[in-house]
Protein backbone atom coordinates (compact mmCIF):
# COMPACT_ATOMS: atom_id res chain seq x y z
CA UNK A 1 0.00 0.00 0.00
CA UNK A 2 2.90 2.35 0.80
CA UNK A 3 4.45 1.92 -2.65
CA UNK A 4 1.12 2.61 -4.33
CA UNK A 5 0.69 5.78 -2.26
CA UNK A 6 4.22 6.92 -3.22
CA UNK A 7 3.38 6.38 -6.88
CA UNK A 8 0.09 8.31 -6.57
CA UNK A 9 1.75 11.20 -4.70
CA UNK A 10 4.50 11.33 -7.34
CA UNK A 11 1.94 11.48 -10.15
CA UNK A 12 -0.01 14.28 -8.42
CA UNK A 13 3.22 16.19 -7.75
CA UNK A 14 4.41 15.79 -11.35
CA UNK A 15 1.05 16.90 -12.73
CA UNK A 16 1.14 19.92 -10.43
CA UNK A 17 4.60 20.84 -11.73
CA UNK A 18 3.43 20.52 -15.33
CA UNK A 19 0.17 22.47 -14.80
CA UNK A 20 1.95 25.25 -12.89
CA UNK A 21 4.58 25.75 -15.59
CA UNK A 22 7.51 24.75 -13.35
CA UNK A 23 8.73 22.36 -16.08
CA UNK A 24 9.16 25.27 -18.50
CA UNK A 25 12.59 26.83 -17.89
CA UNK A 26 11.68 30.05 -19.74
CA UNK A 27 8.69 30.56 -17.44
CA UNK A 28 10.85 30.03 -14.36
CA UNK A 29 13.54 32.37 -15.69
CA UNK A 30 10.83 34.94 -16.44
CA UNK A 31 9.70 34.72 -12.82
CA UNK A 32 13.27 35.18 -11.57
CA UNK A 33 13.88 38.20 -13.87
CA UNK A 34 12.38 40.80 -11.52
CA UNK A 35 14.23 43.72 -13.14
CA UNK A 36 13.40 42.71 -16.71
CA UNK A 37 10.35 41.09 -18.28
CA UNK A 38 9.00 39.72 -14.98
CA UNK A 39 6.35 36.97 -15.09
CA UNK A 40 4.64 36.96 -11.66
CA UNK A 41 2.43 33.91 -12.28
CA UNK A 42 4.71 31.51 -10.38
CA UNK A 43 4.25 33.67 -7.27
CA UNK A 44 0.69 32.27 -7.11
CA UNK A 45 2.10 28.75 -7.34
CA UNK A 46 4.53 29.54 -4.51
CA UNK A 47 1.80 31.16 -2.39
CA UNK A 48 -0.53 28.22 -2.89
CA UNK A 49 2.25 25.80 -1.93
CA UNK A 50 3.03 27.73 1.26
CA UNK A 51 -0.62 27.89 2.32
CA UNK A 52 -1.25 24.22 1.48
CA UNK A 53 1.87 23.10 3.36
CA UNK A 54 1.09 25.25 6.40
CA UNK A 55 -2.49 24.01 6.68
CA UNK A 56 -1.46 20.43 5.85
CA UNK A 57 1.20 20.32 8.56
CA UNK A 58 -1.20 21.75 11.13
CA UNK A 59 -3.80 19.07 10.33
CA UNK A 60 -1.49 16.08 9.88
CA UNK A 61 0.70 16.68 12.93
CA UNK A 62 -2.38 16.47 15.17
CA UNK A 63 -2.31 12.73 14.51
CA UNK A 64 -0.17 10.38 16.58
CA UNK A 65 1.33 8.83 13.44
CA UNK A 66 0.99 8.92 9.65
CA UNK A 67 -1.67 6.76 8.03
CA UNK A 68 0.81 4.36 6.41
CA UNK A 69 3.71 4.39 8.90
CA UNK A 70 4.46 4.12 12.62
CA UNK A 71 5.95 7.58 13.14
CA UNK A 72 6.63 10.90 11.47
CA UNK A 73 10.10 11.53 10.03
CA UNK A 74 10.65 15.23 10.58
CA UNK A 75 13.95 17.12 10.36
CA UNK A 76 15.79 17.33 13.65
CA UNK A 77 18.81 19.44 12.66
CA UNK A 78 18.12 23.13 13.05
CA UNK A 79 21.64 24.46 12.53
CA UNK A 80 22.36 26.83 9.67
CA UNK A 81 25.95 26.02 8.76
CA UNK A 82 28.33 26.59 5.85
CA UNK A 83 27.33 23.30 4.20
CA UNK A 84 23.64 24.32 4.16
CA UNK A 85 24.40 27.82 2.91
CA UNK A 86 26.75 26.56 0.18
CA UNK A 87 24.18 24.00 -0.97
CA UNK A 88 21.41 26.62 -1.02
CA UNK A 89 23.60 29.01 -3.01
CA UNK A 90 24.53 26.32 -5.52
CA UNK A 91 20.88 25.30 -5.88
CA UNK A 92 19.81 28.92 -6.39
CA UNK A 93 22.56 29.65 -8.92
CA UNK A 94 21.71 26.53 -10.90
CA UNK A 95 18.01 27.36 -10.83
CA UNK A 96 18.67 30.93 -11.90
CA UNK A 97 21.09 29.99 -14.69
CA UNK A 98 19.07 27.18 -16.22
CA UNK A 99 15.49 27.56 -14.97
CA UNK A 100 15.31 24.00 -13.64
CA UNK A 101 15.47 22.41 -10.24
CA UNK A 102 15.56 18.62 -9.73
CA UNK A 103 11.83 17.83 -9.39
CA UNK A 104 10.61 19.71 -12.47
CA UNK A 105 13.65 18.55 -14.45
CA UNK A 106 12.86 14.89 -13.77
CA UNK A 107 9.23 15.54 -14.66
CA UNK A 108 10.28 17.24 -17.91
CA UNK A 109 12.45 14.28 -18.98
CA UNK A 110 9.38 12.89 -20.74
CA UNK A 111 9.69 15.74 -23.26
CA UNK A 112 13.04 14.27 -24.41
CA UNK A 113 14.30 17.83 -24.94
CA UNK A 114 18.06 18.02 -25.46
CA UNK A 115 18.38 20.78 -22.87
CA UNK A 116 16.38 18.83 -20.30
CA UNK A 117 18.31 15.64 -20.91
CA UNK A 118 21.63 17.52 -20.63
CA UNK A 119 20.55 19.12 -17.36
CA UNK A 120 19.40 15.81 -15.85
CA UNK A 121 22.63 14.05 -16.87
CA UNK A 122 24.69 16.89 -15.35
CA UNK A 123 22.55 16.79 -12.20
CA UNK A 124 23.03 13.04 -11.80
CA UNK A 125 26.77 13.43 -12.41
CA UNK A 126 26.81 16.12 -9.71
CA UNK A 127 25.07 13.76 -7.26
CA UNK A 128 27.70 11.12 -8.06
CA UNK A 129 30.59 13.56 -7.56
CA UNK A 130 29.17 14.65 -4.18
CA UNK A 131 28.99 11.02 -3.09
CA UNK A 132 32.61 10.52 -4.19
CA UNK A 133 33.78 13.57 -2.26
CA UNK A 134 31.99 12.43 0.91
Rounded mean pLDDT of the chain? 91
Please state, as a whole number, how many other Cβ atoms lie within 10 Å of the Cβ of residue 20: 18
Q: Which of 86, 65, 95, 69 is nearest to 2 (CA)?
A: 69
Q: Which residues contact 111 (CB under 8 A, 6 or more apart)?
A: 23
Span 61-103, pLDDT tens digits: 999 999 888 999 988 989 999 989 998 998 898 888 889 888 8
Report how far apart, in Å, the C-alpha atoms of 64 and of each of 24, 56, 59, 77 are: 39, 15, 11, 21
pLDDT at position 130 is 85
Percent of the chain with pLDDT over 90: 64
pLDDT at position 7 is 94
Amino acid sequence: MKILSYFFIGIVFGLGLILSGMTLPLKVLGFLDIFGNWDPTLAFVMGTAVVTTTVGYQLILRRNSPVLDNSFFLPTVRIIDAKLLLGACMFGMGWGLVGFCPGPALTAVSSLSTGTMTFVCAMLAGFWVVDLVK
